[in-house]
C-alpha cells in the first residue's frame, strides 16, 4: 500500500544537515513506492499560538498564516517525518512553534499513524537528542492513534555538508524505505 508521507524540514538553514537527512529518508520512501511530499519551514510565516483554544471547537486556527496550510497537509498524511537540528538539546524553535500551531488537529479524525524524527547536532553524545525526542513524544501522545516509530540521530555534524559520510544517512534511507 502506498502511503502519503509528509516530511517537515524545520531547519532555518537551507541545505543544512537535517535537510540532507530528510532527503535520504525521502529517497528510501520514494523507492518503496510511497507518495512523498516535503515542506521546508524556511520562508514560511508561522506565528505563535495564542492559547485561545477556539480551535478545539472549530477545528481551525484563528491565525491565518502558513501553519493553516501545513496543518491540512499533516491531517491528511499517513506518515509524518520531522527533521530538525538540535539546538540547546531540543528541537528548533521553528519545529516547536509549528507543533503548537497544530493544536486544531487534536479533535479531528486525523489520518497519520506513524511519526518519525530525524535530528542532527554538533554534539555527538546519544543523549543529545533526548530533549528533542521528548518534545515530539509529547505531541505524539496527544494523538492516541499515532506512534513515534523511529528516530535517526546524526551527531558530530555542525557546518553544512558535514553529514556527507555519516552513517545516519543510510539509517534514514532504510527507515524511509521501510516506512
Per-residue pLDDT of the chain (179 residues), as tens digits, is: 799 999 999 999 999 999 999 999 999 999 999 999 999 999 999 999 999 999 999 999 999 999 999 999 999 999 999 999 999 999 999 999 999 999 999 999 999 999 999 999 999 999 999 999 999 999 999 999 999 999 999 999 999 999 999 999 999 999 999 99
Domains with residue ranges and CATH for the chain: 4-178 (3.40.50.360)
Summarised one tens digit per residue, pLDDT across range 63-83 is 999 999 999 999 999 999 999
Given the C-alpha cell 500500500, which residue does it identify?
1
Phi, psi of 151 (to 5 degrees): -135, 135
Q: Which residues, other chains included, contact 28 with Cβ-Cβ below 8 Å and sequence gap of 6+?
A: 172, 173, 174, 175, 176, 177, 178, 179
- Joined together, the cell numbers standing for residue 45 give 510565516
- Joined together, the cell numbers standing for residue 65 give 498564516
Phi, psi of 6 (to 5 degrees): -110, 120
Q: How many residues does the chain have?
A: 179
Phi, psi of 19 (to 5 degrees): -65, -40
- The bridge status of strand 79-85 relative to strand 114-121 is parallel
Residue 141 DSSP SS3: helix
Amino acid at each position: 500500500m502506498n502511503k502519503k508521507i509528509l516530511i517537515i524540514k524545520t531547519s532555518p538553514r537551507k541545505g543544512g544537515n537535517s535537510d540532507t537527512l530528510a532527503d535520504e529518508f525521502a529517497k528510501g520512501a520514494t523507492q518503496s513506492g510511497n507518495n512523498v511530499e516535503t515542506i521546508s519551514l524556511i520562508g514560511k510565516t508561522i506565528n505563535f499560538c495564542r492559547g485561545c483554544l477556539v480551535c478545539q471547537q472549530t477545528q481551525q486556527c484563528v491565525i491565518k498564516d502558513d501553519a493553516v496550510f501545513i496543518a491540512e497537509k499533516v491531517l491528511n498524511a499517513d506518515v509524518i517525518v520531522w527533521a530538525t537540528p538540535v539546538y540547546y538539546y531540543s528541537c528548533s524553535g521553528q519545529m516547536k512553534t509549528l507543533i503548537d500551531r497544530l493544536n486544531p488537529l487534536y479533535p479531528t479524525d486525523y489520518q497519520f499513524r506513524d511519526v518519525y524524527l530525524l535530528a542532527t547536532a554538533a554534539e555527538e553524545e546519544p543523549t543529545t537528542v533526548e530533549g528533542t525526542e521528548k518534545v515530539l513524544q509529547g505531541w505524539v501522545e496527544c494523538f492516541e492513534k499515532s506512534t513515534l516509530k523511529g528516530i535517526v540521530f546524526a551527531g558530530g555534524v555542525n557546518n553544512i555538508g558535514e553529514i556527507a559520510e555519516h552513517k545516519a544517512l543510510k539509517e534514514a534511507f532504510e527507515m524511509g524505505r521501510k516506512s
